[in-house]
Chains A and B, each alone.
Chain A
Amino acid sequence: MKPKLTTSAALIVMLLVTCSSMLAHHGNVAYDEQHPITIAGNVTEFVWSNPHCQIYLDVKNDKGDVVAWSVESQSPGILHRNGWTRDSIKPGDHITVTLVPAKSGAPVGFAGEKTGKVVFDDGHILRMDLR
């Protein structure tokens, strides 16, 4: 009985998580939302601005070449409600960003509520949930 109940509880939690992410879905035809990726690099610029804040960072690719990535995130209002400020990310910071990449293959991505997150080397995380 107990294992069955535990399994049921896990299924309920999984269902709630799935429903929540479906409700929060942000569609954008320019990005491959089915295949999120994670990149890491040094921040060159952080733009705190409507309609979407932007993170620019230099990322080394597999060949060792530096590629300049451009990442859009949410509006300042949404990020503020997630605890961000305009100083949350600074040039020179080394960060890891999970995003959905442009379908065109260009080094551009969207870090939004569905899969997006920024992780700093000290382990602290910034999210972009709709709230």
Chain B
Amino acid sequence: MSGRRISLTLRVAVLLALTSAVSTIAIAQERAAKDAAAPAPKRDISGVWLYQGGGGQEGIAPDKDMPPMTPWAQARFDAERPGYGPRAIPGGNDPILQCDPAGFPRYLFFPQPYEFVQTSDRVIQFFEREHAWRPIWIDARSLPKDPDPTWSGYAIGHWEGDYTLVVESAGFNDKTWLGATGYPHSEDMRVTERYQRVDRNTILYKIRVDDPKAYMRPIIGPERMMKLRPGVEIAELPCVWSEENSFTKRIREPALGKPNK
């Protein structure tokens, strides 16, 4: 009798656990199916998006997929002292630590969201990180022949079908790193991006960097994902020297064992 009761209790417990697990999965599947079923609007990538990636230390491609550098780029790379990656040392000379702009494309891969606003002639990207913005002209103009170098470059875009925005950009200065591990680039860098909106909530993102002055071959990034964040308002995260300096003195340096002045 006692054995039968235990057996019955065990069966009920297993059934409850099973029901709970199955219902959890069913809810997740239903939500995923609903998301996937929602059609992407045509020729529209507006909205607040969150990159589904790392914590801000990513480069264009993983180290193993980076092409060989030219001697020019190698000399720069060797002089860098990054705070992340296989060559990481505490402290370092990452330009963003002195409030230099991370610039494009680095600010796409931070963990803060960005908003894309679309008008008839451009897509404007507003980044929470750095409180920066970048216009992408979609009015059929060409890239300028000899643009003055800037932190974010000059960008033009066109639609390939109804769901993929192809963006080409040039005119970058050579002061930014291609990610926190310290890969350099030159003013000759040209970037091609593909924003493919596969459903309402998802952009698949691809990036290719051509910079023959710095790399022997193009850098091809892995396919990345951005997710729509309905209801989210982007905040402000500018690099303010007084705040950065205070943070360095109160947290960064003490963390390294330096006295807190």
With A2-B14, A27-B84, A104-B256 known to touch, is A81 a contact of B21 (CB < 8 Å)? no
Asked whether A26 lies within 8 Å of B111 as measured between CB atoms, the reply is yes
In the complex, whether A6 has a CB less than 8 A from a CB of chain B is yes
> A residues within 8 Å of B by Cβ?
2-3, 5-6, 9-10, 12-13, 23-31, 49-52, 54, 70, 72, 75-78, 80-81, 102, 104-106, 108, 112-113, 130-131
29 A-B pairs, CB-CB below 8 angstroms?
Answer: A2-B18, A5-B22, A6-B14, A9-B18, A9-B21, A9-B22, A9-B24, A23-B54, A25-B55, A26-B54, A26-B111, A27-B84, A28-B84, A29-B83, A49-B246, A50-B236, A50-B243, A51-B239, A51-B247, A70-B250, A70-B251, A77-B112, A81-B232, A81-B235, A102-B255, A104-B256, A104-B257, A131-B50, A131-B229
A30 CA / B54 CA spacing, docked (Å): 17
* Majority-rule SS of B interface residues: loop
Asked whether A52 lies within 8 Å of B247 as measured between CB atoms, the reply is yes
Asked whether A13 lies within 8 Å of B18 as measured between CB atoms, the reply is no
A6 CA / B254 CA spacing, docked (Å): 48
A6 CA / B244 CA spacing, docked (Å): 50
A29 CA / B52 CA spacing, docked (Å): 22
In the complex, whether B238 has a CB less than 8 A from a CB of chain A is yes
